[in-house]
A and B are shown apart, each in its own frame.
Chain A
Amino acid sequence: MSLIRLIEEARRQRDFNLLSEAIPYARFLGIESRECDGELLGFLRFREGNVGNPALPALHGGVVGAFLETTAIFQLMWQRETASVPKTINITVDYLRPAGPRDTWARAAVTKQGRRIASVAVEAWQAEPGKPIASADCHFLLAPD
């Protein structure tokens, strides 16, 4: 199934796991997508292979960045009407607290969506939603090549 068809299908079934299953790197890290009370949340199940600092231990900063970026992309696809894959222009991640060896959640909000560019803010937390472990601002290109 083409990616565009898959996005349409995911939106129709309200199940973005169809999409994360189809993206090798998301599947590799264990990134999932869950709908809770009408909003889309990113979910990253803890796995040993995602550890970046075994002494603490803590998740790898790059894994956290990848999780934030993927959650932002899914949010954009979730609420946009046209089915296309946004291209990341840039992402700025702030690491706020150590990301411990446990499950992580993320929530993204589209700050501004223009015809060509979208800005998305995303935040990740573990035990308490009020204590984010990381946040990011992302820009995406929506226009086709």
Chain B
Amino acid sequence: MARHPHHDQLAKYVSYVPHIRELGVQLLRLERGLCELGMPWREELIGNPETGGLHGGAVTTLIDSACGLCVLAAMDDPGPIATLDLRIDYLRRGDPPRGLVAEAVCYHMTRHIAFVRSSASHSTGEPPVATAQASFIVKGSGGGLAADVSPDMDAS
């Protein structure tokens, strides 16, 4: 896959967004309309102090970030975007002390709206902890690079 034309600009996202920086999120992969983010394990992510299981909200945060970044990576000229809605299904518990990776694909974009699918797991290739579907309002140039991305995430 060709290097993303705005790779260096978009790669700054993880250090530019305060909450993402605070969580130590790293950019693992960035292609046209697709990205993968990694979030290292830390005790602050625990939702259930008895089991040590990850808080659903921590999963939401990582997935929302990956979704936003893949939309930016799908635009010809990345500009302001806003999340319209985000649905997350929690498939299994996230176990300590393991971090998460989230992959997100912008599989369609119109002039105004971007459509995204995402999933998060402990590591690439493992069964998902959560899957998600989101839509974004895009301002400026829509209809960009997302058309090149296969809607089947497994095939990407």
Residues of A within 8 A of B (CB): 2-3, 22-29, 48-55, 60-63, 65-67, 69-70, 85, 87-95, 98
Contact = CB atoms under 8 A, between A and B. Distances in A.
B57 A65 contact: yes
15 contacts: A24-B45, A25-B47, A50-B19, A52-B20, A54-B18, A60-B19, A61-B64, A62-B60, A62-B63, A62-B64, A63-B61, A65-B86, A69-B60, A88-B90, A92-B88
B85 interface: yes
Contacts of A85: 48
Interface of B: 16-20, 22, 43-50, 54-58, 60-65, 68, 80, 82-90
A27 B43 CA distance: 11
Contacts, number: 121
Given A3-B50, A54-B16, A25 B57 contact: yes
Contacts of B50: 2-3
A49 B56 contact: no
A25 B63 CA distance: 16
Contacts of B83: 61, 93, 95
A23 B57 CA distance: 12
A3 to B, nearest CB: 5
Contacts of A28: 44-45
Given A69-B60, A88-B56, A24 B90 contact: no
